[in-house]
Structure 1
Amino acid sequence: MKNWLLNNLNESAFEKTGPIPRSIARTFERFKKELDPNSESEIIEEFRVSRYQTSASIKYLLLLIIAPILINQVSRIFVFSPFIDYAWSEKNNEIFLNVSQEERAFSELQMFEEKIHFEILIGQLPALSQESIEREIKNKAVELAQYYSHESVTAIKNLLADICSILTFFYLIVSGKRQISVLKSFVNELIYGLSDTAKAFLIILFTDIFVGFHSTHGWEVVLENGLRHFGLPENRDGIFLFIATFPVLLDTIFKYWIFRYLNQVSPSAVATYHEMNE
Structure 2
Amino acid sequence: MKYWNLKKINKSTLEKIGPIPRSITKTFEKFKKELDPNAEAEAIEEFKVSRYQTVTSIKYLLFLIITPLLLNQFSKSFIFGPCVDYFWNNKQPTIFLNSSQEERAFAELQKFEEKLYFEKLIEKKSVGSEKQTEEQIKHKAIELAEEYTKESANAIKNILSDFCSITSFFVIIIIGKRQISILKSFLNELIYGLSDTAKAFLIILFTDMFVGFHSPHGWEVIIEIILRRFGLPESRDFIFLFISTFPVMLDTIFKYWIFRYLNRLSPSAVATYHNMNE
- Category of TM-score, reference length = shorter chain: over 0.9
Q: Please show how residues 2-151 of structure 1 align to structure 2 within 5 Å.
A: 2-126=2-126, 128-151=128-151
Give the % identical residues: 69
2: CA distance between counterparts of 1:13 and 1:271?
23
- Map Cα deviations across residues 224-270 of structure 1 (whole Å, 9 max, x no partner): 01111111110110000000000000001110010000000000000
Shift of 1:133: 1.5
Q: Which residue of 1 aligns with 2:228?
A: 228
Amino acid in the other structure paired with 1:257: W
Amino acid in the other structure paired with 2:70: L
Give unmatched runs, 5+ long, in structure 1. Answer: none
Q: Which residue of 1 aligns with 2:264?
A: 264
Q: Which residue of 1 aligns with 2:214?
A: 214
Shift of 1:93: 4.9
The TM-score with structure 2 as length reference comes to 0.98
Amino acid in the other structure paired with 1:168: S
2: CA distance between counterparts of 1:173 and 1:44?
31
Q: Which residue of 2 aligns with 1:237?
A: 237
- Map Cα deviations across residues 88-131 of structure 1 (whole Å, 9 max, x no partner): 11133521111110000001001111111111111113353221
Corresponding residue pairs, total: 278
1: CA distance between counterparts of 2:250 and 2:137?
48
2: CA distance between counterparts of 1:186 and 1:10?
10
Amino acid in the other structure paired with 2:262: L
Task: Provide the aligned C-alpha RMSD in A.
Answer: 1.1
Shift of 1:223: 0.5
Q: Secondary structure at the match of 1:251?
A: helix
Distance 1:117 1:42, change over 3 A: same
- Map Cα deviations across residues 121-152 of structure 1 (whole Å, 9 max, x no partner): 11113353221211111000000001001111
Q: Which residue of 2 aligns with 1:277?
A: 277
Q: Which residue of 2 aligns with 1:191?
A: 191
- The runs of 4+ residues in structure 1 deviating greater than 3 Å are none
Alignment check: 8 A CA contact 1:5 1:49 kept: yes
2: CA distance between counterparts of 1:3 and 1:163?
34
